[in-house]
Amino acid sequence: MEEKLFEKSPDMEERIKYLAEKEEQTLIRIRRELHKVPETGVYLPKTYEIIRRELQKIPGVEVIEHAAEGYGLIGIMRGKLSDGKTVLLRADIDALPVEEPEGLPYRSEHPGCMHACGHDGHAAWLIGAARILSDIRDNWGGCVKFVFQPGEEVGKGATALIEKDQVLENPKVDMAFAAHGWPSVESGKIGIARRYAFGCVGGFSIKIMGKKGHASWPEETIDPIAAAIEIYQHMPSVLTKKISGTEAKVFSVTYMQAGDVKIHNVIPETCEFGGTMRAANMDVLKRMGKELEKEVRAVCHVAGAEYKADIRIHGGAVHNAVDLLEGTEKTAKGILGEDKVYFIEHDHLGGENFSEFSSRVPAVYLFIGIRPKEKEQIPGLHSAEYRFDDHVLKGAAGVFAALGYYGCMGILQKQEKGTGTEEWKK
């Protein structure tokens, strides 16, 4: 690789910021157009057409259509210099089955469906990054892949892109980046998880089968509710006493159902409950599932009840690559400002199947703030009151463009001494 690729252009950050500013109104228009036609899962025909239309407008982008088994898109852009690395930039594009309240001029036109997680913004800022990188294509070499993934909310899309579409190959991806609009981070700022941006995700459904009977004679019954409550009460001790280590981990019971609300004098035959389990480490998550079933078995044995347990592992963690953290931080600060980017020291245990990418190539996931400065708190993800802040689009597009630019130049990743690759300059 030519040495000049490792030299930071002193005016490139200003140029990217200028181009991002120019794109702001276009990105707001695209984001609001996407917001009006939210689609869930992997069948996203209207979303797909809007993104395809916008990618086809961008000089230098080769559009790969019908990726991810139908409604995903991949934009391939090659710089005009002779050499460089390959960077993948990803946005998820699906919505949620949430009814949007009245009030916005660009409110969802699809009843019972809403962009309540901000994926419309993710798609818009990635289109913006492509537009910016196209304008500066004379200044970089290598390849940037712009990946628009359907089905993230239902755990799909990523595996198909990797295994069927071979998005990490031809050319081989050296690093990957993604981001989420984040309600707890102030607008105009970016938080970067020091370790885990998202955790390993699992779920559980437990059915306790007891013996039905009149509530006046509980001794003649086997109470499944009592057994379920005992299991629930023991779950914290499963984490603290049965599983060693200091890695973040949690059980959350999200539903419990038993009996008939119209009948108050019958102990029911069954009780069902379930929820989610999260851990930073996959081995810990698997151990959690095994220990939970052991607890269910023990409680049911003492109670004389039977049970059925469905314990599932859904996906791995999004672990931010240590050798990309410093370069990512410096890049984001160059676009947003020195005081606008910070590290988050605690692990997040939400779920995101960007883990399929981050488990295969070095990657960083960013939290892009959407909370207005004057507000201490705003509605969270998946809420009908969730609101995306359009003012962050230009900054996010600029940061993604800069990550693509410097990633292709080969100066984002720290290398061990003696490899011949320069590290970030202060």
Question: pLDDT-based confidence at 6, cuts 50/70/90?
Answer: very low
Cα three-residue angle 87-89-94, rounded to 5 degrees:
155
Q: What is the mean pLDDT of residues 102-131?
A: 97
Residue 9 pLDDT level (bands cut at 50, 70, 90): low
| DSSP H stretches of helix in 239-370 | 282-303, 322-336, 355-358
pLDDT tens column, 137-175: 999 999 999 999 999 999 999 999 999 999 999 999 999
pLDDT digits (tens, 9 = 90+) for 287-332: 999 999 999 999 999 999 999 999 999 989 999 999 999 999 999 9
Q: Are 295 and 268 in contact (CB under 8 A)?
A: no
Q: How far apart are CA 388 and CA 207, in angstroms?
A: 39
Residues across the chain? 426
Distance CA(310)–CA(292), nearest Å, equals 11
Q: What integer pLDDT is reported at residue 242 of this predicted model?
A: 87
Q: What percent of the chain shows pLDDT beyond 70?
A: 95
| pLDDT tens-place string over residues 247-265 | 789 999 999 999 999 999 9
Amino acid at 272: E
CA dihedral 96, 97, 98, 99 (to 10 degrees): 130
pLDDT tens-place string over residues 360-389: 999 999 999 999 998 989 999 999 999 999
Distances (CA, A) of 57 to 6, 50, 53: 30, 11, 7
Percentage above 90 pLDDT, the chain: 89
C-beta separation of 179 from 117 below 8 A: no
Lookup result for tokens 């200003």: 14
pLDDT above 60: residue 4: no
Mean of all residue pLDDT scores within the chain: 93
Hey, CA dihedral for 198, 314, 89, 397, is it positive or negative? negative
Instruction: Give the pLDDT of residue 8.
Output: 52
Give pLDDT, residue 419. 36
- Which tokens go with 244? 């060693």
Query: Could you give the 3-state DSSP secondary structure of residue 268?
Result: coil
pLDDT in tens, 194-217: 999 999 999 999 999 999 999 999
pLDDT at 244: 74
Per the omega criterion (within 30 degrees of 0), is the bond before 10 cis?
no
Residue 5 has pLDDT above 50, yes or no: no
Which amino acid is present at 178? A
Q: Provide the pLDDT for residue 1.
A: 40
